[in-house]
Amino acid sequence: MHIETLSEHVCFGGVQGFYRHESQVIGLPMRFSIYQPPQAQHGPVPVLFYLAGLTCTEETFMIKAGAQRFAAQHGIMLVAPDTSPRNTGIADVDKDWDFGTAAGFYVNATQEPWNQHFRMHDYVAHELRELVLAEFPAKTDRIGIFGHSMGGHGALMLGLRHPKIYRSVSAFAPIAAPMQSPWGTKAFEGYLGPDRSSWEAYDATALIEQGAYAADKSTILIDQGLADKHLGLQLLPHLFEAACRAAGQPLNLRMHEGYDHGYYFISSFIEDHIAHHARLLG
Give the pLDDT band of residue 263 (cuts 50, 70, 90).
very high
Looking at residue 99, what is its pLDDT? 98
User: Sign of torsion, CA 60 275 216 207?
Assistant: negative
Looking at residue 142, what is its pLDDT? 98
* Over residues 204-232, mean pLDDT: 98
Q: What is the dihedral of CA 225, 227, 228, 233, to 10 degrees?
A: 110
Q: Are 273 and 223 spatial neighbours (Cβ–Cβ below 8 Å)?
A: yes
Residues belonging to the active site: 149, 228, 261
* Over residues 146-168, mean pLDDT: 98
How far from chain centre, in Å, is Cα 18?
A: 17
* Over residues 227-246, mean pLDDT: 98
CA separation for the pair 148, 166 (Å, rounded):
17
Looking at residue 1, what is its pLDDT? 67
